[in-house]
Amino acid sequence: MFRIRSIVCSLTAAAGLLLAGSVFAQDRFGNVSDQVNKKMVKLFGAGGFKGLAAYGTGMIVSPDGYVLTVASHILDTTDLRVHLSDGRRFDNVKVVAIEPVLDVALIKLDGVKDLPYFDISASASKPLAQTGDWILAFSNQFQIATRDEPMSVMRGTIQSFTKLQGRRGVFEASYNGDVYVIDAITNNPGAGGGALTNRKGELLGIIGKELRNTQSDTWINYAMPLQAKIEVQLENEKKSVSLVEFVEKTLKDGKWQRLDVLVIKGGQKGETGIRLVQDVVERTPPYVDVVLPNSTAAKAGVKPDDLIVYINGEQVPSVKFYNEIMGKFSPGSKLVVEVRRGDKLKTVELEVVPPTGKLVPKK
């Protein structure tokens, strides 16, 4: 079924390219494509999961090599590779920041300067695109391009501006804010992190990952606008984050404090200070991603990259199961947790405490 869909999408993409080339030749479509392509990169990273591609797309957002993309599984590797439009290849690229609440990430290329780039702040200061506006979608869908080969380009229009209600497999999408819904088949394997522009090549948004609409159970083609902002409810307050803020602050400070470390998952009544890796596959192993400073987990010696194996003698096979079991414990509960660190098991005792809803800065 996936193969059939891929063939249909490829034919649709080809038709879109032919139409764009013939109808808008007088508007120098080729020049716009060339200019945008210089600001795009191809990503190659982690694979091995059934149905998950090991390639993706990104856009350059600073002259010194910061690249904006979606927060996907391909970033979880020690061998993240990037190809620029001029054919240059960069190995072991560093992931600088991830914000799962927005479902985006920033990576950094070393030793580069004066790269063509999208000015996110300037682009986001312009009005939102409107329903019916003509758009172009640039991405490395289906891994068509490597090195100096150009990105795929699709032409379409904006069908609506609405809240995203999507899921990947059985899991709800981590981002549920505003999106542009597009009348072209843009969200194919590898397209996540691509650029949505107007007919002049001006950036409008970032193409999201493959998702199904939870209302119609059909594939949805969408992009997150640059003006996107999302709000999460903590215990005692609300906190919001915007795409522009994420990019600007990371470019300025070289780091980012993730908003999702504040969110207590699965209706939990209390917490220990453990935040697990992003839940991206059907049975994501419960690896520790972040340990909040001064938390009970930090004091007990839990560390990032520990794998949680048992809680009070009950096996914990996945991130989803961890969130479910933690929802059973109230503040004051005592937990005996076994974690795997390297090739050894370590037992730690934790106390569940009330969630503060406050962010403790990382040291």
- DSSP per residue, 338-350: EEEETTEEEEEEE
**H or E segment at 30?**
helix 29-37
Residue-level pLDDT at 199: 93
Residue-level pLDDT at 283: 76
Count of C-beta atoms within a 10 Å radius of residue 3: 7
**pLDDT tens for each residue of the chain, 363 residues long:** 434 444 434 444 444 444 444 444 445 678 999 999 999 999 999 766 666 789 999 999 999 999 999 998 898 888 899 999 999 999 989 999 988 889 999 999 999 999 999 999 999 999 999 999 999 999 999 999 999 999 999 999 999 999 998 877 655 677 889 999 999 999 999 999 999 999 999 999 999 999 988 888 899 999 999 999 887 765 566 778 899 999 999 999 998 877 766 666 556 677 898 988 877 666 788 999 888 888 999 999 999 999 999 998 888 988 888 988 888 888 889 999 999 998 889 999 999 988 764 434 333
Q: State whether residue 22 is helix, strand or coil.
A: helix
| Residues 361, 173: Cα–Cα separation, whole Å | 27
Question: Which strands, in side-by-side order, build the sheet including 55-60?
Answer: 89-90, 81-84, 40-44, 55-60, 66-70, 104-108, 94-99
pLDDT digit string (tens) for 296-315?
999 999 999 999 999 988 88
CB 98 within 8 A of CB 75: yes
- Give the residue extent of every domain in the chain: 2-225, 264-351
**Fold entry, domain 264-351:** Pdz3 Domain (2.30.42)
- 2-225 belongs to CATH 2.40.10.120: yes
Count of C-beta atoms within a 10 Å radius of residue 212: 16
